Structure 1
């Protein structure tokens, strides 16, 4: 039986390939860049939503992204997670897909239940403050794909006009 010493990291083996154990004591420049991406996202939400503190903007960002994560599925969900900073991607990817798609109004109402003291109007502001910064971050093409997947009414939340096809 092999004894492990607490000061030496264990290196797991997978099919003959050695995967280094993560070093949790040192942050790499790559990790710092990802944190910067999260900070930039939260700062953009803070500016757009005119939140008085960064903490409030961060809380709203997490709540809205977690709600969105349950409603975006398939390749769009994967592509959204890839396009976002690592922290935001984790929030999106950690959500269990919703059992039924919510209308835009129901989505806003669901967010309102997660924010203390929120009303439908303030929740709509919060949702729009987060979702309207996504096109700058992930690109218009991906947002269009997300909107194609979501029920009608979400375009306004992303800061876009809701256009109806001519009949």
Structure 2
């Protein structure tokens, strides 16, 4: 899931996030891949929920998958901190703020 997120981020922001704990971020974020364009939230959730063991019991239910992905991305948000998370969210389509557990005012 972190690798897929990293594919949606510009190299500078990806490197900043990879430098934060936990160490596993660096291993997956610095894999050289780049997405042509960020996935909409629904497609990101579907793609990542399929990779998460906890999501398999939900058999692709979008709402349940979003909870699982959101739980994982809230860890990423905590590691990133507010300033870096703000930069990350600027590079992603609307709706990702909710997945990171940091809803933005409309």
TM-score (norm 2): 0.81
Contact between 2:17 and 2:25, CA under 8 Å: does it hold in 1? no
- Structure 1 CA distance for aligned equivalents of residues 45 and 100 of structure 2: 12
User: Do the aligned partners of residues 147 and 113 (structure 1) sit closer, same or farther apart at CA in structure 2, a change above 3 Å counting?
Assistant: same
Which structure's relative contact order is higher, taking Cα pairs within 8 Å and 6+ residues apart? 2
> Contact 2:49–2:69 at 8 Å: present in 1 too?
no
Q: 2:102 aligned with 1:160, yes or no?
A: yes
Structure 2: gaps (5+ residues)? none
Per-residue deviation, residues 47-97 of structure 1 (Å, max 9, x unmatched): xxxxxxxxxxxxxxxxx2122121112211110111132222111112511
Q: Which residue of 2 aligns with 1:150?
A: 92
- Considering fraction of residues, name the structure with more helix: 2
Which residue in 1 is equivalent to 2:30? 93
Determine which structure has more spread, i.e. the larger CA radius of gyration.
Answer: 1
Alignment of 1:54-69 (within 5 A): 64-69=1-6
What TM-score does the superposition give when structure 1 sets the normalisation length?
0.54
Q: 1:42-81 counterparts in 2 under 5 A?
A: 64-81=1-18
Unaligned regions of 5+ residues in structure 1, if any?
Answer: 1-63
